[in-house]
Amino acid sequence: MRREEMTKLVNEDLKHIPRTKLYDTQADFRLTYNALRRRGLALGKTKEETLAECIEHLKKQNPSWSPSYDRSYFSSKTT
Protein backbone atom coordinates (compact mmCIF):
# COMPACT_ATOMS: atom_id res chain seq x y z
CA MET A 1 0.00 0.00 0.00
CA ARG A 2 1.29 3.43 -0.91
CA ARG A 3 1.97 6.03 1.76
CA GLU A 4 -0.74 8.38 0.43
CA GLU A 5 -3.37 5.63 0.61
CA MET A 6 -2.25 4.70 4.10
CA THR A 7 -2.43 8.31 5.28
CA LYS A 8 -5.92 8.70 3.83
CA LEU A 9 -7.18 5.57 5.64
CA VAL A 10 -5.56 6.50 8.95
CA ASN A 11 -6.90 10.06 8.79
CA GLU A 12 -10.41 8.72 8.14
CA ASP A 13 -10.10 6.41 11.15
CA LEU A 14 -8.84 9.23 13.37
CA LYS A 15 -11.98 11.25 12.59
CA HIS A 16 -13.77 8.64 14.71
CA ILE A 17 -11.43 8.94 17.72
CA PRO A 18 -12.12 12.31 19.36
CA ARG A 19 -9.38 14.76 20.27
CA THR A 20 -9.09 16.23 23.74
CA LYS A 21 -7.99 19.70 24.77
CA LEU A 22 -5.50 18.37 27.29
CA TYR A 23 -2.70 15.90 26.86
CA ASP A 24 -4.07 12.76 28.45
CA THR A 25 -4.61 9.08 27.76
CA GLN A 26 -7.13 9.92 25.01
CA ALA A 27 -4.40 11.90 23.24
CA ASP A 28 -2.06 8.92 23.67
CA PHE A 29 -4.82 6.77 22.20
CA ARG A 30 -4.86 8.83 18.99
CA LEU A 31 -1.06 8.84 18.75
CA THR A 32 -0.78 5.13 19.42
CA TYR A 33 -3.59 4.28 17.02
CA ASN A 34 -1.92 6.31 14.28
CA ALA A 35 1.38 4.47 14.65
CA LEU A 36 -0.08 1.00 15.12
CA ARG A 37 -2.59 1.43 12.28
CA ARG A 38 0.16 2.32 9.80
CA ARG A 39 2.14 -0.74 10.82
CA GLY A 40 -1.01 -2.85 10.87
CA LEU A 41 -1.97 -1.84 7.35
CA ALA A 42 1.37 -3.12 6.12
CA LEU A 43 0.66 -6.41 7.94
CA GLY A 44 -2.95 -6.72 6.75
CA LYS A 45 -4.61 -5.99 10.11
CA THR A 46 -8.10 -4.50 10.28
CA LYS A 47 -8.89 -1.25 12.00
CA GLU A 48 -10.76 -3.24 14.66
CA GLU A 49 -7.68 -5.36 15.42
CA THR A 50 -5.56 -2.22 15.68
CA LEU A 51 -8.10 -0.53 17.94
CA ALA A 52 -8.18 -3.52 20.30
CA GLU A 53 -4.37 -3.60 20.40
CA CYS A 54 -4.25 0.12 21.27
CA ILE A 55 -6.83 -0.14 24.01
CA GLU A 56 -5.10 -3.17 25.54
CA HIS A 57 -1.74 -1.38 25.51
CA LEU A 58 -3.08 1.82 27.08
CA LYS A 59 -5.18 0.02 29.70
CA LYS A 60 -2.00 -1.64 30.99
CA GLN A 61 -0.69 1.85 31.77
CA ASN A 62 -3.99 3.29 33.00
CA PRO A 63 -6.52 0.57 33.95
CA SER A 64 -9.27 3.05 34.89
CA TRP A 65 -9.14 4.81 31.50
CA SER A 66 -12.23 4.55 29.33
CA PRO A 67 -11.56 5.13 25.62
CA SER A 68 -13.73 7.44 23.59
CA TYR A 69 -14.35 6.42 19.98
CA ASP A 70 -17.16 5.84 17.50
CA ARG A 71 -18.14 2.27 18.30
CA SER A 72 -20.34 1.91 15.22
CA TYR A 73 -17.45 2.86 12.91
CA PHE A 74 -15.07 0.42 14.56
CA SER A 75 -17.58 -2.44 14.65
CA SER A 76 -17.82 -2.74 10.86
CA LYS A 77 -16.04 -5.57 9.13
CA THR A 78 -14.12 -3.38 6.65
CA THR A 79 -10.48 -2.41 6.87
Number of Cβ atoms within 10 Å of the Cβ of 10: 19
* pTM confidence score: 0.89
Model confidence pLDDT, tens digit, residues 2-21: 899 999 999 999 999 999 88
- Between CA 61 and CA 68 the distance in angstroms is 16
d(CA 55, CA 32): 9
- What are the b/e assignments for 14-37, b being 16+ CB within 10 Å? beebeeeeeeebbebbbebbbebb
pLDDT higher than threshold 90 for residue 77: no
